[in-house]
Amino acid sequence: MRKKMMSIALATVSAAGLISQAAPVLAQSAPATQPTRYSVETTLVGKLLDDPAAAAVLKQHIPTVYANEQFQSAGRNLTLKDIQQYEPEALSDENLAKIQATLDKLPVKN
């Protein structure tokens, strides 16, 4: 019994050692990539509103949505594609494509 417990303890220690050795390798192999462009599908509205150039694009293309207090507050945690269901005309696929084309010209601010 004692021998079995000892082998279990050693196996646990060995596994823990392997995990701790592998952790830095895993951390290094998954580089953090920053987006190079804003996206109507993946970028949160809050990030767009915080960048004056991106906010100007929104104000230009969707002025009534931009002026809506809910867009400015609750909308910050959504993407434009998410908000499309609430504003289907202003955020039609055609308008989202136009917004995307304009956003593609802007550098992303971190």
The structural domains of the chain, with segments of one domain joined by +, span 1-32, 45-103
Contacts of 51 (CB under 8 A, 6+ apart): 38, 106, 108, 109
**Mean pLDDT, rounded, of the chain:** 82
Confidence tier at 33 by pLDDT (50, 70, 90):
low
Q: Which residue has the higher pLDDT, 19 or 61?
A: 61
For the segment 88-108, the average pLDDT, to the nearest whole number, is: 96
Q: What is the pTM of this model?
A: 0.67
> What pLDDT does 4 receive?
54
